[in-house]
Chain A
């Protein structure tokens, strides 16, 4: 149904004759005045009248529909619509159908997602698969839509449906391994899914998966941060797991973007990792010929290299260097 079809001529409609429209109280000289079109003014004048009268009626419901089509950002209208839906006991599955077109036209609007959560909460676990399907559809239009991901996470936690979520993340990462939202969702699943046993149970396979992604694209920040996240609150395993240090070494020895491998190695060292000669040689080979002489402190050498290869963060690497534990000489 098209928006135009819905526009009622309220002032000429006998059904609305009993109601006195209330104009907007903008004052004599408003700032940021908007040049409203006549249909908007009329709709909102009647909306204010039903809103003020707390009129929970089918015609008021229809009016909120019209007002939402004209400005889906009006949270007052949405709120009032929920009050009417409650009062009239409307079938909320109908309401989901009403939402479809509006959602696709306004995928980043806070109100549509909040409204959807309200509906799904009322429908309960029966709504889970429909909501997962809906978010999947919205994410097929924009795989990083923040609201869609938030909604999906809420659905999983409140209504369930975890069974295929890891596969879904995998599928999205297959399509675009740079999709950080999909990595974030993967973290959400491995840490919170009631079916997987938490980080301890999944870490080994996740590390393998992540390292493969890193080696495919060493300049992709997402899997590096994900890898670090897999050892959150467990610095001991972080520095002792040979898979972590060896992926750094592999990337450092390859023709690749070395920034994340260097910064990860720096992080390992700051947590107590003891690097052997192999690491020192790999790092040393990256020293620019015009740089400072090699430092006996590997972490310092890494900071110096990062200052050269990552000039956007030159201040950061200088600062990191200044914060290194062995900085005893002032």
Chain B
């Protein structure tokens, strides 16, 4: 076995060496261009595509090379058990991947750690492990999609992408799922790696694992295909809702220019000044701000998830990076690379030796712009020239910030879970002192139900248009107009509920209907991993009033149908008892993806003696 491992390793070692050199050159080039650990989107994308995608491709290529008929016989037909052959091949490949992924990144990380004042934390090393595990998983999907006789095994890569990409709230949640997924993938590979590659998966446990892996990809494929079976035909026949806005519906609002939308919302208003508001909006300065809930950085999070690399005050040649290990901002001189001080939650300190436990931040703050730090409870402003820090703003008692400070043309805004705080822009930035908000608006509904707020500058404040498809919860769209007045008061002018009137429910809730189990599994898992991400719906919300009874009934009916379909299909194909039961169960559990997986995982041509 070890000889085979050596032989397979020898096959790729030159390539591995070339890859290491190329990756290292790429990293070196990046480090010249910008701070190496700054999570620039293009860099992360390039590393993911290059290394994770490369591992996926490598798995495919490696196994395709072996799968060629004569080569396969040569590989398998020797006095060595097949699982040992696989261990040798996969072992060699994982060694190659480890070398290409770890060596260059470790050189860079250790290099910066040892030879510069750049803040390098445990998390920078942990990222190497995280990247490596992801690459291993991608490799295993690559080999599996070649080795397995089924058609859709590659779809598992979509699950890897969806499940391993979020920003987990703990290290355990970061690494444990990756290890579980890896274990599952390698079990599947072991099961598929046998002399006869034309044999389809038979073992109930393997079918269950494989279908579970493919379900998410199949659901995504179903959703993508709705373009073909639903949207395109409607566009062609001119009956698509996008082309036929329905007056009185929520989406009809977008038929109007931004300035005209308040008029549409206020149409049924009984407020005495409704008309005036509507008219004022047309001429007012218009802006947006976001109500998106941000996942605040956690201690030890992968640095690729960082939103901002450091605070770099203009004209001072200083870089202040947040150290997750120390829970402090550590400043260094950009030119001399010397530590010039640290910032704790109580302000500046001269050096690390002066730090007491009380100085350390309790939460990892967002770094914003040149001088702001934001935790869920505090907004700090730093004056680097005078080496001073103060609390610029705090949300009202019982509230937490949910979003980063947003700097607009006309105002600055911070959003908490209950209110939006608007500040005068010039004073906010220029003055170094604690600030009260000029305008405070209580959100008319849960912020996660709304993505954006449109603001209209009025003579005496701002008119705000809140809207969302889920405004009244349970998929009931709505919008409201609020008048924010100077001094912190606000008045709800009007609130309007709309009919959905767009797509039929089976298109609107396609993801849920196609496979409630997959939908629940995905959301519950992702919600568990990253609770502050509002796109992930917790279990109690899904089972609450989110979906009408008829949606549940339809989905349930579909599942019974797919279970029956899977059962009879298996019977017709003369599958064994255990397989038939397993497939019927897959149809019952996963619904449509269960049945589609059965079709993908069965031979399409039946071998019949003519």
Do A and B pair up? The answer is no
**Which residues of B approach A to under 8 Å, CB–CB?**
none
